Amino acid sequence: MSRLPFELMLALRYLRPKRTFVSVITLISIIGVMLGVAVLIIVISVMTGFDRKLRDKLVGFSAHVRIERTDSTLREYESLMARVATNRLVKAVAPYVEGQVMVKTQPRYGSPRYLVPLVRGVDSRFEPEVSTLLESVILGTNELRGYSVLLGSELAARLDVSVGDRLAIYSVRQFEEMDTSRREGSEEAPLADDFRINGIFDVGFQEFDMAYLICSLPNAQDLYALSNSVHGLIVALHDPEQAVAARRELMAALGPQYRIRTWMDENKPLLEALVVEKNMMFYLLFFITIVAAFGICSALITFVVQKTREIGTLKALGATSGQILWLFLSQSLVVGVLGVAAGFGLGFLAVIYRNDFLFFMRDLTGIELFPADIYMFRELPAMIVPGDIAIIAGGSLFICLLAGLIPAWNASRLQPVDALRHE
């Protein structure tokens, strides 16, 4: 004798594969639930991984918190660094100079190239404590002594330069001197500063790799004629998610003459867009499971019609309306469990081998399905969060149960006499 409740035992017996129309609909329903769950797991995992990867790159290269004066540059920044470092949330502090310059290549053959990237001046003593920049050099060294610079990998590719090549850098100071000379009637033009490329970095975020070149803090101060002042301070926190609390405490300690921005403020549109896209994809893709649920509903309706006499016999033998209800709900539950389990496995396999599939399709078709110049990452990121998986699995099972509720309710309300007379 089986130890299973007779409702579940009958449900499993009725679900055995048979060459009937109902069995085909049931199989299609299981496949529909499987595809819905798999697509949800893949898309939500990719969106979560994209969000997490983006946050890691932003806080790795950029600052958790930036401190600047509202009216001028920071002159006595060393004392301000000491004050900021005493905050309980602060891990490290470093000065920086940042702004646009114009660079000109000096090729041995052919015409020079021109670009207008951002230059960041860093202090090599403090920068490793606040960012991963100097650790991301993939060619050459991160040495910034003398007139030397580090270039982002994408910027170096666009300029067609490599380690050891030289760049002419035109700064704001040179353009101001040129404008002053022109107003005074002088034909003299200031010469650009000549820098050697010591290294090429790759932080894994194409927007940064394309936009930045790095030099020493004294060189950047000279480019912008800042003397011993800097544009601001970069603050690294023990926990980047505490950036808002750190800003509040630092504002209270430093006063209103300072402008304090967090990494969330600087990247707010991008981060909010990712959250909105993830939520919208989550809701929209659940409709795949809802469509599969209609298949479950139609299969059970057909099945109830076919088994009307058997339902009457069961009720005549003493089966209650609740047991009949659970008999048909068990069928929709079994279909849901099979579909969710299959979708779970398919989704995990797809997430694990996502980049292998993309590389295979690229080699096969020659089409880049995940272009780095659009999505800013060279590989498709993904991250499986147990909470998201629980919501997907639980929501899909609930929809499957809900789909079987109406036909199960109608079956439970059948009267034995009417059911036995059914033709």
* C-alpha separations of 256 from 68, 85, 229, 252 in Å: 11, 19, 20, 8
- Contact between 65 and 235 under an 8 Å Cβ cutoff? The reply is yes
pTM, rounded to two decimals: 0.66
- Count other Cβ atoms within 10 Å, centred on residue 240: 20
Pairing assessment for the beta strands 118-122 and 212-216 based on DSSP bridges? parallel
d(CA 230, CA 221): 7
- Contact between 422 and 309 under an 8 Å Cβ cutoff? The reply is yes
Geometric angle at alpha carbon 207, from 127 and 359, rounded to 5°: 115
- Contact between 144 and 124 under an 8 Å Cβ cutoff? The reply is yes
Phi-psi region of 120 (alpha: psi -120 to 50; beta: other; left: phi over 0): beta
d(CA 130, CA 236): 5
Nearest to 201 by CA among 215, 190, 187, 191: 215
Those residues with Cβ within 8 angstroms of residue 162's Cβ, 6 or more apart along the chain or in another chain: 139, 156, 197, 200
Nearest to 43 by CA among 272, 205, 274, 269: 274
Burial 140-168 (b: 16+ CB within 10 A, else e): bebebeebbbbbbbbbbeebebebebebb
d(CA 16, CA 1): 19
Phi, psi of 388 (to 5 degrees): -65, -40
Which of the 8 DSSP states describes residue 198? Answer: E
CA 18 to chain centre: 45
Note the residue count of the chain.
Answer: 423
- Contact between 196 and 219 under an 8 Å Cβ cutoff? The reply is no
Give the end-to-end CA distance of the chain in Å, rounded to a whole number: 32
Cα diameter, the chain: 112
Token pair of 112 as six digits:
């020079």
Token pair of 356 as six digits:
């292998």
pLDDT tens for the chain, 423 residues long, are 446 565 566 655 656 655 555 567 777 778 888 888 898 898 888 888 888 877 777 777 777 889 998 888 888 888 899 999 999 999 999 999 998 888 888 887 778 888 888 899 999 888 888 888 888 888 989 888 888 999 988 899 898 888 888 898 888 777 666 666 666 666 666 666 788 999 999 887 777 888 889 999 999 988 888 888 999 999 988 888 888 899 999 998 888 888 988 888 877 777 777 778 777 877 777 777 777 777 777 777 776 666 666 666 666 666 677 677 777 777 778 888 888 899 999 999 988 888 888 788 777 877 776 666 666 666 778 888 888 889 888 888 888 888 878 777 777 776 665 555 554
Nearest to 217 by CA among 204, 208, 226, 209: 226
Q: What integer pLDDT is reported at residue 311 of this predicted model?
A: 67
Q: What integer pLDDT is reported at residue 307 of this predicted model?
A: 66
d(CA 408, CA 282): 29
